Amino acid sequence: VVDVAAKASAEDVVIFELAVTLTSETRSVGPMLSCAREAAAKRSGAASLSGHMRSLLVSGKHSDVTLRVADGEIQAHRSVLAARSPVFDRMLAPDSGMLEASTGLVQIEDLDMATAKPLCDFMY
């Protein structure tokens, strides 16, 4: 028996491989189900983070940059865009000298909302 919990951190993922052989014996799977429930509970933190990030995008709350595309605008967050894209990172850096960094307005004329929304969904 290996004490996985003693060596694992909260970010680690443990994968169990299980081989099942059918016999006439009855065996308990209680400990295995308990581990699965515990792993699912830990993953729910990631799910709530993604939900909170999506909420920021949808609401525009605390947004500090506008993506203006051919047929609309999306309120976004420069820190999220910069973290997810090296292009936005360079463009929105305070010392970049780029107009977008000082105005908070990114104009992408050859992109429409039908494309921009899924792009932002992916980044958030």
Q: What is the pLDDT of residues 9-43, one digit of tens each?
A: 666 676 777 777 777 665 555 555 555 556 665 66
Rounded Cα distance, 86 and 90, in Å: 6
| Residue 7 pLDDT exceeds 90 | no
| The pTM of the whole model exceeds 0.75 | no
Mode of pairing for the β-strands spanning 105-108 and 65-69: parallel
Query: Which residue's structure tokens are 């292009």?
Result: 87
pLDDT at res. 15 = 73
Q: What is the pLDDT of residues 77-123, one digit of tens each?
A: 999 999 999 999 999 999 999 999 999 999 999 999 999 999 999 99
Query: Which residue's structure tokens are 């429930």?
Result: 37
